[in-house]
Structures are given as structure tokens and as C-alpha cells.
Chains A and B, each alone.
Chain A
Amino acid sequence: MLDIKSLSASIDGKKILDGFDLKIKPGEVHAIMGPNGSGKSTLANVLTGKNGYEIEGQVFYEDKDLLNLPIEERAQKGLFMAFQYPLEIAGVNTNNFLKTSLNTIRKVRGLKELDSLDFLKLVKTKTKNLKIDEKILNRQLNVGFSGGEKKKNEILQMTILEPKLAILDETDSGLDIDALRIVSDGVNALRSKERSFLIITHYQRLLDYIKPDFVHVLVNGKIAKTGCGELAEELEKVGYERMEIGK
């Protein structure tokens, strides 16, 4: 699914990712943990194609060179990111945004575009399953949403767009326990043999709800340690500082 080979990324001459390697197979859930400034969000941004980074190394997505694709093509090919800080766009109705996005992606995948009626049916089912209040759909995109509502909206978008590889960039930060459950239920419901996840988080808490296949510790722009679920618990106890010393 995804093969990252000695990826480095700098911004304004400052190296943030430094020789990062990672392989994700279909159906796997990988968690990336790490202290502030270790390069977690940069990894998500580079994979999705955000401008402003100087990049070295290679990334293959479904055996194709990912780094040369424009942002929207990566998304159309099934790469999704749940944003750490979802953007507010005044005047744009959430429903309309989601429908435009879904139909663009469906078109690329050779599927029929959904008309308003079918789309509404789909959205209604999904919001109900996720226990998300469907009222947010009639509001302007993320405008005046609480932190929790924004994150739930990201999960709803992920659910509807059905990505092949979903990156969650600190989706759990700032969530109360109920919202956290909605977010993790959303992810768990989407888990399948074909679909992979890259979950970036600061805390072990989320991993109580989403059981990853692998946990990687990111320190100074590269993976310092890889393990299974227990590594996260160990991290929580010992702290990143000690882990770094231990390597």
C-alpha cells in the first residue's frame, strides 16, 4: 500500500524528517507516536502533498510514485487525511462540500455521481451510525464548530469518502471521552482487509480504543523504535525522554 524510503523533509532549511522509513500493507493500522516537534504532522503533510517542504527520498503508494502527484490526485486515489485543525470555510455548506468532494472522487473512480437525494440518504445513514448530530451538515463548513464537532466532521468525511489509506493527524487531541469514542468507533467501523490507517497521536489514550498492529516512536525525524500495542503503554509510563536515551 505505502512504502516510504529514507524520506527527508525540511522547511526553511530546517530538517524535520530525516531518513524516515515505513511500510504499510493493506489492512494494517500503524500508530505513530512522538514528542512535540518530532515530525509527526510534517509526515502527514508531506504524504498528502502540502506545499512548502523540500523533500528527499521516495514514497510509493500502490506501487506508484506518490511525491510527484498533485494534492487532489492523491486524494482522488484514496489518500485521506483527518486534519489536526480542520479549516473553516465561510459560506460553504458542509453538505454541499461533502457532496462535491464525494462526486469528484466517484467520478475519478468511474462511479456514477450521486444526486442530492441519494447523497442525503447516504449521509443520514452514516451520521446515524456514527452518532453524529446531522445538524452540522446544514451549517457552514466548520464555521463556529466546537473542537469536537470539527473532529467528528473529519471522521464523517472519512467515512463517506471511503479512502484506501487514512491518515489521522492528532485527531484525538482536545477530545472529551464521548467524542473520542465516536472518533474511534468511526475508525474501527472502517477497518477492513483492504483499508490501512496511519494514526498520528501524542497520547496512548486513543490506542485503548483503536488497537494498532504496529506502534512506531518518532524521534528527531526518524523512527526510533517499533513495536506492538504494548509499546504505547510502555511509552505512556516511561515518557519519550527515557525512550530516546534507551535507543
Chain B
Amino acid sequence: MTQSTINTSEEYKYGFTTDIESIRAPKGLNEDVIKFISNIKKEPHWMLEWRLKAYSRLKNLKEPNWQKPKYPKIDYQDLYYYSAPKSSQNKPKSLDEVDPKLIETYNKLGISLKEQEKLSGVAVDAVFDSVSVATTFKDKLTEKGIIFCPISEAIQKHPDLVKKYIGSVIPITDHYFATLNSAVFTDGSFVYIPEGIRCPMELSTYFRINASETGQFERTLIIADKGSYVSYLEGCTAPMRDENQLHAANVELIALDDAEIKYSTIQNWYPGDEKGKGGIYNFVTKRGACRGKNSKISWTQVETGSAITWKYPSCILQGDNSVGEFYSVAITNNYQKADTGTKMIHLGKNTKSKIISKGISGGHGDNTYRGLVRISSKAHNSRNYTQCDSLLMGNKCGAHTVPYIENKNSSSNIEHEATTSKISEEQLFYCNQRGLNQEEAISLIVNGFCKEVLQQLPMEFAVEAQKLVGISLEGSVG
């Protein structure tokens, strides 16, 4: 199968398509397709059973419809659930065996897998459509006992760990998209940090949707054993296409006693054109469990892409003294829509959570912060601090804040602050008069607005994110 390249423009520089032969599962969603996926991944029987259980559950579930951004009905039978570059059917054992075309694709995206291995000190797992194509730095990580590999490999090589933790944070019965993912997930990353180990480098997964009419359903599972630390980053891009493409990932994080996981996302899926045609539906379930005492999970997300972003990276604060954090920048320009936020579920004593959300809307963009803070009756002396700031550009965009607050413990405390502001013509004039053009001025103001969040990103990605924030808002002021 070959695909033609849709014209790439300045605005979305990742919009190219790679002409690469791929293998696909037959179109549609049924038990045979699930068996096909499980079979091609050489999965053990229990995994297939687990998938089928999810599928049978899915048949009784309804797609949710309470979100603010509405979308046309998705025909789940009209999608491909598996697409993989043909050359990686027999998985390459080292980077030298990876199809040069794939390496080239990642080079175009600014991710040089070979360079990355030698220079930057960031270990990368690259996921192309439905399979992981390369993982760098394996040896160095293995020395420390760290497992960083495609989840399909982990299912074969580390079945005990996968079996124990998969679905333990997001159960297969959770909700429509999470259940769908459980049935048909294709690849993603698996990370295990052993007890007492501080992961010596950033771990990073780079997701790329290439094939058309294909849903991407990746699954990421990260386990930080007692006293360990890991910082993980995911980046995502897709070609420009007229159709909408579904991306429904599940990410599960587990932090045991005294462990810390820092999870950063730079989401730059194709947002659709300036009239709102095409773009990715980014319907993702991300949840972390602070299972052990003194554990900490911190989510940082910079959401600049996708036609619709609909996700709530959440923390379940089970362990006493555990800490959950959520730092978010969500940008909606042109006709992009976002309904995002977090859930902080306080179960243990002395648990703390912090939410910093920065929503920026330009053009006809529509941005909703939706967040739940729940403090259970046993979560004594718990604290939450929430700050939601919205920035509007022009007068055709929207910003909404929908906080849900439930406190069942009188010794606990919840704070919520919200502001809405607008970039004024006068402010832009002031910047212009100091020699900055419109784009530079907006980039400066917006970066100032979301500085608190961008500071949370690992150094290696902070600069990239700053640029992205500027670019995403080009043409946003009417």
C-alpha cells in the first residue's frame, strides 16, 4: 500500500507522510481482529483472554457524550486497528537493522535515533503507527536493571510484571475509550525502575501516526518500584489529512513507596487546517496511582495539537503523604477544541495535590478546564491547591472552567483560584513599538503566561516547547 503526500505547509511542519509499505489488520472491530493483533504480537494466551474480556465488556458500553466538544459519530467498523511498517515484521535487533526510511522519518521530525543514541543522553522508544520501531540506550539502562522496551516485548519477556500491573490503574471496565484500548492496543512503552534506582537519563517515547484510516491505540505502563525515580516524556505528531483520526491511548503509572514519576507530554498531533477540516481526535486516558507512602506523580502536559483534545491525566493518592501534581498548557487555535484537566483523588492521610492549568484560546478555538478534586473521609490533613488561568486572543474564541470539588474530611483543605485575561491591542502595540513583530509579541506574552508550566519540563524539551507554543498561535489574533 502506498500513500500520496498531502501538501505540507509552514504551519504544521510535521504534516508529511512517509511512503512505506505496511501490513494492516482487516478493517473493522471484531474478535478476529483482536486475535489477529494478539497473534501478530506473539502474545501469550492470557493477554488475548484479557483483550477479549475487554471487548465483550465494550459491547455493553456506550460512548460518553458529556464533554463540551462534540464530534460526528465515529464508525468503529470503518477503522483499521493495526498498521505496521512491513519491514519491521521481524523486529530489528539493533538500530542498524531499522528500515532507513523510518530512520529518515524520525530525522525529519528532528529525532535522530542514531544521534540520540550517541549524543543527547535521552533514551528514545519510537512508535510508528502500531509498532515500536526502535529503542535507544538499551544497554546502559539494562546495566541498572531498568526495563525500557515496547510493551509488546514486555508482554513476552516480563509477563509477571505486566500481568501484575496492567489494568490495575485503569481497569478494563473503566469507560468506553479505555476499554476499547484494552481490547485493541497495539504498542507503546513499558518502563520498570527497580527498587532504589534513580533512572540516569530521560526516557522518551515518540509516537507517530502515518497510515490513513488508522486508529492509534497505544498503551504505556510505567512502574517505579520503592525509592526509585524516573522522568519520562512523550511526543507525538501525525501527517496532515482531511479525515479525522482517532487516537485513544491508555497510560498507567504506578509509584510504590517513596518513588517518584515525572511524566511530560508534548502533544503536537495534526490540529486540522485553519477551517477545521481534519485533525486528530486525541481521546486519551492517563492515570497514575501513588500506591506507596511518600510517593509522588507529576504530570506535565503541553497540548498544542489535535482537532479535539479530551483527557484528564489523574492521580490516585492512595499512599499516606503521597503527592500528585498536574501542570498543563492547552492551546486551541483555529477550530481546535480542548476539554482537559485532571482528577486528584485523595485517599491516604496527609496527601497533597497541586493543579496549575493554563488555557489559551485563539481564532475560533474553545478551551475547557474540567477538574475533579475529591478528598475522601479518611484522607486527614490533605491539601489541594488549584490555579486555572485562561488567556483569550481575539473575540471568537472561548474559555470555560468547570471545577468539581468534593471534600469529605473536615481536616482537609481545598483552594481554587481562577483568572481570565485577554491579550489587548494596546499590549501588542507596546511590544511592536519595542521592535517585536506580531508573532514575537504573542510568543513572548504567551510564554510568560505559561512559564510556570513550561518550567516543569525537562531541560532538553523546554526550549522546543517554548517555540511550539509560539508557532501554535500564529494568526490567532484576528
- CB neighbours (8 Å) of B429 from chain A are 50-51, 71, 87
Establish whether residues A75 and B435, one from each chain, have CB atoms under 8 Å apart when the complex forms.
Answer: yes
Contact stretch, chosen from B26-34, B63-71, B268-276, B437-445: B437-445
- CB neighbours (8 Å) of B445 from chain A are 89, 91-92
Chain B, Cβ-Cβ closest to A102: B435
Establish whether residues A97 and B435, one from each chain, have CB atoms under 8 Å apart when the complex forms.
Answer: no
Q: Mark A90-128, 1 if CB is under 8 A from B, else 0.
A: 111100110011001100100000000000000000000
Establish whether residues A83 and B430, one from each chain, have CB atoms under 8 Å apart when the complex forms.
Answer: yes
Establish whether residues A81 and B449, one from each chain, have CB atoms under 8 Å apart when the complex forms.
Answer: no
Chain A, Cβ-Cβ closest to B441: A72
**At the interface, yes or no: A76 with Cβ under 8 Å from chain B?**
yes
Within 8 A of A (CB), among B95-116: none
**At the interface, yes or no: A70 with Cβ under 8 Å from chain B?**
yes
Counting chain A CB atoms within 10 Å of each CB, the highest count among B432, B433, B437 belongs to B433
**At the interface, yes or no: B93 with Cβ under 8 Å from chain A?**
no
Establish whether residues B432 and A71, one from each chain, have CB atoms under 8 Å apart when the complex forms.
Answer: yes
Which interface class (under 10, 10 to 19, 20 to 34, 35 or more) fits A?
Answer: 20 to 34
* Distance between Cα atoms of A76 and B431 in the complex (Å): 12
* Distance between Cα atoms of A108 and B437 in the complex (Å): 12
Establish whether residues B448 and A87, one from each chain, have CB atoms under 8 Å apart when the complex forms.
Answer: no
**At the interface, yes or no: A220 with Cβ under 8 Å from chain B?**
no
Residues A90 and B449 in contact in the complex (CB < 8 Å), given A51-B425, A71-B433: yes
- CB neighbours (8 Å) of A105 from chain B are 435
Chain B, Cβ-Cβ closest to A76: B435
**At the interface, yes or no: A48 with Cβ under 8 Å from chain B?**
yes
- Distance between A91 CB and nearest chain B CB, rounded to angstroms: 3
- CB neighbours (8 Å) of B430 from chain A are 83, 86-87, 89
Chain B, Cβ-Cβ closest to A78: B435
- CB neighbours (8 Å) of B425 from chain A are 51
Within 8 A of A (CB), among B414-461: 421, 424-427, 429-437, 440, 444-445, 447-451
**At the interface, yes or no: A171 with Cβ under 8 Å from chain B?**
no
Establish whether residues A101 and B421, one from each chain, have CB atoms under 8 Å apart when the complex forms.
Answer: no
Establish whether residues A91 and B448, one from each chain, have CB atoms under 8 Å apart when the complex forms.
Answer: yes
Within 8 A of B (CB), among A153-192: 157, 161
* Distance between Cα atoms of A75 and B435 in the complex (Å): 5
Residues A104 and B448 in contact in the complex (CB < 8 Å), given A71-B429, A89-B430: no
- CB neighbours (8 Å) of B437 from chain A are 70, 72
* Distance between Cα atoms of A101 and B444 in the complex (Å): 10
* Distance between Cα atoms of A108 and B435 in the complex (Å): 9
Establish whether residues B426 and A87, one from each chain, have CB atoms under 8 Å apart when the complex forms.
Answer: yes
Residues of B within 8 A of A (CB): 421, 424-427, 429-437, 440, 444-445, 447-451
* Shortest Cβ-Cβ A-B pairs, 4 listed: A91-B448, A92-B448, A71-B432, A101-B434
